[in-house]
Amino acid sequence: MTEIQAARPPHSPVRKRRSDGERSRNAILREAAKLATVDGISGLSIGRLADAVGMSKSGLFAHFGSKEELQIATIETARVVFDEQVIEPALDAPDGVARLHSYVDHYLLHISSGIYPGGCFFASLLTEMDTHAGPIRDRAVEVMDGWIALLAAAARDAQAEGLIDASEDPAQIAFEVEASLFLANLQFVVVQNATPLDRARRAIELRLAAAAPAAQRALG
């Protein structure tokens, strides 16, 4: 989810109609992403997934030749879902602060919608793979870095627009926003109520209000 990936091209190509095989593969991978937030990406196997989707192992082998290929494809599917549900809705925000708020609102909705029983797919993945070197961890870190870069870019835009004080560090704001969201996700998975999500939203609102230029704070 880099800034380049998130940017909307001036003329988006018409999407091709998916074949039955593509639709089947996509449905399988979305189920795989759900399982990965509960069993972990390491626990995701062709046999386990075959049981979950009601297919034979040989049927799944037609889509994925190895466990690692399945895991990588699952991560890419979860990234597409995250882009669709969290990033793309924020692209039309009128300014950097509004875009930050939109990212936050859609992230929290993404969590609370129940699309993944274990909460945010990438928070779950990073927690599991933090010390496990390899392509799975590398891809997870790449996605996380891209997400934080988007938050920082929105903060920089807000700064250029005069909505965030020039003394603020956009990277620090992005860190604090992500820290609130990460903890909200963790607590929500445990308690299964909206209190952590509400607390995260409030914490971020207060942080962005405090980051406004002094003259704007005085008017507020």
pLDDT of 216: 64
pLDDT of 204: 98
> Model confidence over 26-84: pLDDT tens digits?
888 999 999 999 989 988 877 788 888 888 777 777 777 788 888 899 999 999 999 99
Distance from C-alpha of 213 to C-alpha of 103, rounded to nearest angstrom: 22
Distance from C-alpha of 139 to C-alpha of 72, rounded to nearest angstrom: 8
| 93 within 8 A of 99, measured Cβ to Cβ | yes
| 219 domain residue, yes or no | no
In the predicted model, residues of the chain with pLDDT beneath 50 are 1-18
pLDDT of 56: 79
Residue 147's domain comprises: 75-213
| 114 domain residue, yes or no | yes
Distance from C-alpha of 31 to C-alpha of 216, rounded to nearest angstrom: 47
| Residue in the block written with tokens 């297919």 | 55
| 20 domain residue, yes or no | no
Distance from C-alpha of 144 to C-alpha of 138, rounded to nearest angstrom: 10
Distance from C-alpha of 151 to C-alpha of 207, rounded to nearest angstrom: 14
| 181 domain residue, yes or no | yes
CB atoms within 10 A of CB 29: 22
> Model confidence over 29-42: pLDDT tens digits?
999 999 999 989 98
- The CATH number assigned to the domain holding 148 equals 1.10.357.10
| 143 domain residue, yes or no | yes
Distance from C-alpha of 34 to C-alpha of 118, rounded to nearest angstrom: 7
| 8 domain residue, yes or no | no
| 6 domain residue, yes or no | no
| 123 within 8 A of 183, measured Cβ to Cβ | no
Domain count, the chain: 1
| 166 domain residue, yes or no | yes
